[in-house]
Amino acid sequence: MNRIAMWSGPRNISTAMLRSFGSRPDTAVSDEPLYAHYLKVTGVAHPGRDEVLAAHESDWRKVADELTGPVPGGRAIWYQKHMAHHLLPSIERSWLDRLTHAFLIREPDEMVASLLKTFPGAGLPDTGLPQQSEIFDRVADRIGRAPPVVLASDVLRDPREQLTALCDALGIAFLPVMLAWPAGRRETDGAWAPYWYTAVETSTGFEPYRPRRVELSPGQARLVDECRPYYEKLYAQRLTS
């Protein structure tokens, strides 16, 4: 069994990647399993907070036990979509060693501009980049090599090539069904889907890559500068073919 933890930052193509892996007949998927714990501990007032806390487990220990336990439905692969900033400092880390890890990153200027439109008070920890860097180092030290990193814009430019490279790095076969999926909501979507998944629910595949012109305010530029060392470290390890 292959339990894949994909660590992403916000304002990325993480849900499209969830749809992609969810299209595989051999793969179970989980959607942001640490989100309820994050909301409970931080007290942040995200849209749908009450629904999320009512519908999802908020004890990280129980979540970790589940994520490292039997794969749902007896499938061969379990793709777990994680927001890296949900891995709070108070969460013990040893259970991570029982998962296979990968990382999804986005250019920090685009990510920050999008993030601050939705959450104007967001800071460096909310980007997930420090947490991605921490997990990356832990995994690399344990397995003796860099775990796979994919850049969102690379995936959008050539989904087949990037997904093939990612699957190779994860030790699984690429399946063409990963390139397309039916529109609509999924039973596996989190309780926050009505607030965040409007666009992905109409999608039937990865959207074509479109360069974005980003103009940053001084505050946004400062946050991008804070992000850049973490991003560049991960970017240097991204899959290129």
**If residue 82 lies in a helix (H) or strand (E), which one and from where to where?**
strand 77-83
Environment class of residue 122 by beta-carbon count within 10 Å: exposed (0-12), middle (13-18) or buried (19+)?
A: middle
Q: What is the pLDDT of residue 118?
A: 86
Are 147 and 102 in contact by the 8 Å Cβ rule? The answer is yes
Quote the CA–CA distance of 193 and 175 in Å, as a whole number: 26
Residue 1, pLDDT score:
66
Type of residue numbered 195: Y
* Element at 131 (helix H, strand E): helix 129-143
Residue 190 has what pLDDT? 95
Please state, as a whole number, how many other Cβ atoms lie within 10 Å of the Cβ of residue 201: 16
Question: What pLDDT score does 215 carry?
Answer: 87
| Inter-residue contact 113 to 15 (CB < 8 Å) | no
Give the predicted TM-score (pTM) of the model. 0.96
Residues 6+ positions from 23 with CB-CB distance below 8 Å = 175, 177, 178, 180, 181
Class of domain 2-235: alpha beta
Q: Return the closest-CA partner of residue 214 out of 125, 126, 117, 118.
A: 117
- Residue 182 contacts by C-beta under 8 Å, 6 or more apart in sequence? 204
Q: Digits of tens for pLDDT over the chain (241 positions)?
A: 699 999 999 989 999 999 999 999 999 999 999 999 999 999 998 999 999 999 999 999 999 999 999 999 999 999 999 999 999 999 999 999 999 999 999 999 999 999 998 889 999 999 999 999 999 999 999 999 999 999 999 999 999 999 999 999 999 999 999 999 999 999 999 999 999 999 999 999 999 998 888 889 999 999 999 999 999 999 999 998 6
Helix (H), strand (E) at residue 4: strand 2-8
